[in-house]
Amino acid sequence: MIRSRGTPVALLVAACLVCQFFLGVSAYFTVPRERRQATTTAPPTVTALAATESFTAVSECHLHQTDAYCMFGSSEFQVIVPPTLTSDLPAAFTDCHSHGDTAYCVAPDGSDVEVVGYEVETNDAVEGDSHGEDGDDQPSEEGQNCHFHAGVEHCLGSEVSCERRDRDYNIGLRVGLLFVMLAAGLIGSVGPIFLAMALPHKFSAVFSIVKQFGTGVIISTAFVHLYTHATMMLTNECLGEVRYEATTSAIVMAGLFVSFLIEYISHRVAKRFWGTSENEAMAVLILEAGIIFHSILIGITVVVAGDSYFVTLFIVIIFHQMFEGIALGARIAAIGTRTRTGSPGEKAHAHGLGGHASADATPTLGDDTSNDAANPGGKTLSLPKKLLMAIAFAITTPIGMAIGIGVLDTFNGNDPATLWALGTLDALSAGILVWVGVVEMWAGDWIFGGEMTHSPPLVTALAFFGLIAGMVLMSFLGKWA
What residues are paired with 64 via a beta bridge? 67
CA-to-CA dists, residue 195 to 65, 188, 335, 367, angstroms: 54, 11, 14, 19
CA-to-CA dists, residue 21 to 26, 168, 169, 452, angstroms: 9, 54, 56, 86
- The residues near 481 (Cβ < 8 Å, ≥ 6 apart) are 150, 225, 298, 313, 316, 317, 320
Look up residue 93 and give its DSSP letter: B
φ, ψ for residue 148 (rounded to 5)? -100, 130
Q: What is the pLDDT of residue 276?
A: 64
Asked whether 149 and 109 are in contact (CB, 8 A), the reply is: no
Quick one: average pLDDT of 187-194? 93
- Between CA 240 and CA 130 the distance in angstroms is 29
- Between CA 428 and CA 410 the distance in angstroms is 25
Q: What is the pLDDT of residue 121?
A: 54
Look up residue 435 and give its DSSP letter: I
Query: pTM for the complete prediction?
Result: 0.62
- The residues near 68 (Cβ < 8 Å, ≥ 6 apart) are 61, 62, 78, 79, 80, 81, 85, 86, 89
Residue 130, pLDDT above cutoff 50? no
- The residues near 409 (Cβ < 8 Å, ≥ 6 apart) are none
Task: Tell which residue, 459, 12, 395, 38, has the closest CA to residue 211.
Answer: 459
Asked whether 102 and 114 are in contact (CB, 8 A), the reply is: yes
Tell me the pLDDT band of 277, cut-offs 50, 70 and 90: low
Asked whether 321 and 481 are in contact (CB, 8 A), the reply is: no
- Between CA 160 and CA 157 the distance in angstroms is 6
pLDDT in tens, 287-300: 999 898 889 988 99
pLDDT in tens, 345-393: 344 444 455 544 333 333 333 344 344 433 444 456 788 999 999 999 9
Element (H, E) at 260: helix 247-274
C-alpha R_g of the chain:
31
Residue-averaged pLDDT of the chain: 76
Strongest mean pLDDT among 152-161, 216-225, 349-358, 412-421: 216-225
- Between CA 287 and CA 265 the distance in angstroms is 16
pLDDT in tens, 103-118: 888 888 777 888 887 8
Q: What is the pLDDT of residue 22?
A: 47
Q: What is the dihedral of CA 228, 234, 240, 243, to 10 degrees?
A: -100
For the chain, give percent helix, strand, coil, nearest 5.
60, 10, 30
Asked whether 407 and 210 are in contact (CB, 8 A), the reply is: no
- Between CA 55 and CA 71 the distance in angstroms is 11
Q: What is the pLDDT of residue 120?
A: 67
Look up residue 146 and give its DSSP letter: E
82 C-beta neighbours (distance < 10 Å), count: 12
Quick one: average pLDDT of 437-464? 92
- Between CA 455 and CA 439 the distance in angstroms is 19
Residue 405, pLDDT above cutoff 90? yes
